[in-house]
Structure 1
Amino acid sequence: MTKGKVAVRMARTVVLVAIMLLAAACGGGGAAPKHAPTTTSAAPIDEFVAKTRTPDPGAVGIGLTNISLSRTDKSDRVTFGFTGTAVPGWAVHYVTQAVSNTNTQAVFPVTGQSIIEVLIREAANPFETGVPPYAGPLILTDPTLATVGEVRYASALRGVTQAFIGLSTPQRSFRVSAQTDPVRIVVEVDHK
């Protein structure tokens, strides 16, 4: 078979495939139903499962500057503020014990019925980047909060900042989001 015949056959095959796909998309060429049912479905979101995010490429050498607590009508918020402009990554999940990610594997005494571990990735190692270490309080509490009993800063080691959120309740659904200008990671824990 010559190159010209092969090219013609390939062109015909491409045209036939395109016609078949178009016919399938239009309902096979038959009359369209007068009222096509519209259905949408989404998988339910399990707000108890771990939340993770990959850091932005420029999130290297950032440092934790502050941790703050606040309350809305439906949730308590723990906000972690950072230097820099890129959003770090995170792994936020429930744990049965607050275990340090340092070589000591020390267990922190976190007050509460349930504990959320917060690991924020690509945070600075102050000895390598010159970013000052976190200098705020190691334990934060706010008696006006409904769900969050305390937040305990644990460490910043090998590019990971670790903290624990002790809930004064059994496990609640939670969300994690990033905000910029300045860069903040917000863990929001529902009251109910």
Structure 2
Amino acid sequence: MVRALPDGRTRNRARGVLVVVLLLGGLVACGGDDDGDGDDSGADATPSSSAAAPSPTDADGDDGTGDDGGSDGGDGTGSPQPPFPADTRPDTQDASGDALGNVTDIRIGRHEGYDRVVLEFEGTGTPGWDVRYTDQPARQGSGEPVDLAGEAALQVTVTGVGYPPDTGIVEYSGPPRLSAADTEVVTEVFFDGTFEGVTAVLAGTRAEVPFRVYLLEAPARIVIEVADPA
């Protein structure tokens, strides 16, 4: 039997017990949400990651044009070929200001509708050229006549070159006369070497027909294409 005290302390004690019970219940509920790691965010942060972008693939180096490749090593043009001119006027192009090198290889090949002569250049800058028909094919320096098979002769001079001891490049050292069994217009090519900053090449042809000249790069090549007779 609880005796009521005049100052009401029994009622106050009951209220105090109720408050303690409520506080303990609240602490238990809060403890259930704690994941024990001190982080009250409710979830661990996910570290960011990024995949490295793939590097662009290198060009495959194939500059073919759909031609059949001929016997010149499959040189393509890398860009549209210029059309054949309607006449046989000379074709000239200046060398770049920093050009200095040598012709290191010569190739001849047959393609549909024309024959091709390729002069490969090694060195700095881009070479220049002067290509024209001549009635008197001759060696530079000495002026000694050069006999070529065919009814006409193309004289090719390459500028932007130097003597091999000065350039440090090994100049073409193959046979001075070259020919290809499958050509129809170009009969043979004669390499005359380098003299006073000019490399000379002569090409015999079956007729004086239109030709075109252009430059390929990587490596630098002067391409001379001689059209089939009409």
TM-score by length of 2: 0.60
Match for residue 190 of structure 1?
Answer: 227
Aligned to 2:162: 124
Which of 171, 178, 186 is residue 140 of structure 1 equivalent to?
178
1:153 to 191, 195, 206: 191
Shift of 1:81: 0.3
Matches within 5 A, 1:1-12: none
Distance 1:125 1:156, change over 3 A: same
Percent of residue pairs bearing the same amino acid type: 29
Residue of structure 2 equivalent to 1:71: 110
Q: Does 1:84 align with 2:123?
A: yes
Structure 2 gaps, min length 5: 1-84
C-alpha separation in 2, matches of 1:152 and 1:66: 13
Q: Which has the higher strand share?
A: 1
Aligned counterpart, 1:176: 213
| 8 A contact 1:111–1:149 mirrored in 2 | yes
Q: How many residues align?
A: 146
- In structure 1, the residue matched to 2:4 is none
RMSD: 1.5
Q: Deviations over 1:115-155 (max 9, x none)?
A: 00000011121233322232122111112001000000012
Partner residue, 1:55: 95
Question: What's the offset of the Cα at 1:46?
Answer: 4.2
- For residues 15-34 of structure 1, the aligned pairs below 5 Å read none
Residues 68-92 of structure 1, C-alpha deviations (whole Å, 9 max, x = no match)? 0111111100000010252211100
SS in 2 for 1:107: coil
Contact kept, 8 Å, 1:59 with 1:88, in 2: the verdict is yes
Partner of 1:5: none
User: SS at the partner of 1:134?
Assistant: coil
One-letter identity of the residue aligned with 1:170: A
Give the conservation status (yes or no) of the 8 Å contact 2:106–2:172.
no
